[in-house]
Amino acid sequence: MALIDIGVNLAHDSFDRDRPEVIARAYAAGVVQMIVTGANGESTRRALALAEAHPVKLFATAGVHPHHATELDDELAAELERLAAHPAVVAIGECGLDYYRDYSPRDAQRRAFARQLELAARIGKPVFLHQRDAHADFAAIMREHRRALVGGVAHCFTGTAAELSECLSLDLAIGITGWISDERRGAHLVPLVREIPAERLMVETDAPYLLPRDLEPKPASRRNEPAYLAHVARTVARARGIAFETLAEMTTAAARALFRLPPEPRENSHEYDSATY
């Protein structure tokens, strides 16, 4: 059994005191590879540094979350393009739109989103996408750019059946988190995950956020970890009516195909072979 966490915020400061132990627990729980999310300039730099320190086990995204859209000036855009060329960076993002928090003006969000889609098209890497309460604008911008993109994933999908249908029509992969375990907000996802084609279904923790509500025993800190990805995967497997091992195999294959990940390294191997990318 091997799982890939396609979205974990390992650069987050909540992991500063015990990051090596968090990574070790994830590996022990069967999470053989993880993609560390970049959400602004600083977290992208830290995500890439982690990927360089754990070759072929950790990878990074390079991008600017809509909360930080106003930070994407020409200088940061040039740096992102340079960082994105690194072989351990496997996607552009986390990018998209967030009208729920509106931490950045919506026009700035739309400009930053389009700019990152253009970057992804130039360098030929997929996009790691965020959308909350902004589906109409998100879909319109994606339709405008989709033909030039090599692929993308709707990270932490929590939307409706209609939104899922539109994401699938855009040929996007779908990332499912522990949100599916939240009986108050995520119960609608249980039937929806059956509609996602096997080759486009992926699992993620979005740690340290979105600790599954039905996880037992609950950690005292309430911090989510990539080690809990198996719990998310088992929940998705039950929803689809398939074996956990089958779900793990299909989501791992889907992640490797989209992000062009190499096979996980042999135990205790620390070799970095750029040719595998």
By DSSP bridging, strand 3-8 and strand 58-62 are: unpaired
* Tokens found for residue 80: 């992102």
Give me the pLDDT at residue 132, please.
Answer: 97
The pLDDT, as a whole number, for residue 266 is 64
Residues listed for the chain: 277
CB atoms within 10 A of CB 111: 15
- Amino acid 243: pLDDT: 98
Q: Could you list the beta-strand ranges (E) of the chain.
A: 3-8, 31-36, 58-62, 89-98, 127-132, 152-154, 173-176, 201-203
Cβ neighbours for 156, distance < 8 A, ≥ 6 positions apart: 7, 130, 175, 177, 179, 204, 206, 210
Mean pLDDT of 15-24: 97
pLDDT at 257 over 70: yes
Q: Vertex 275, ends 271 and 277: CA angle to 5°?
A: 95
> CB neighbours (10 Å) of residue 161?
11
Question: What pLDDT sits at residue 267?
Answer: 56
Residues 6+ apart with CB under 8 A from 240: 193, 194, 247
Q: What's the pTM value of the predicted model, to 2 decimals?
A: 0.94
Instruction: Give the pLDDT mean for 57-61.
Output: 98
Helices (H), 170-218: 189-192
3-262 maps to which CATH number?
Answer: 3.20.20.140
Asked if 2 and 252 count as a contact pair (C-beta separation under 8 A), the reply is yes
Q: What distance in Å separates the CA atoms of residue 237 and residue 245, rounded to the nearest whole number?
A: 9
Residue 153's beta-bridge partner residues?
128, 173
- What pLDDT, in 10s, does the model give residues 149-208? 999 999 999 999 999 999 999 999 999 999 999 999 999 999 999 999 999 999 999 999
For residue 236, the 8-state DSSP code is H
**CA-closest candidate to residue 193, choices 237, 163, 228, 156:** 237
Nearest Cα to 4, choosing from 228, 245, 256? 256
Mean pLDDT across the chain, nearest whole number? 94
- Domain residue ranges of the chain, discontinuous segments joined by +: 3-262
DSSP-assigned letter for residue 165: H
Cα distance between residue 4 and residue 90, in whole Å: 13
> Three-class SS of residue 225?
coil
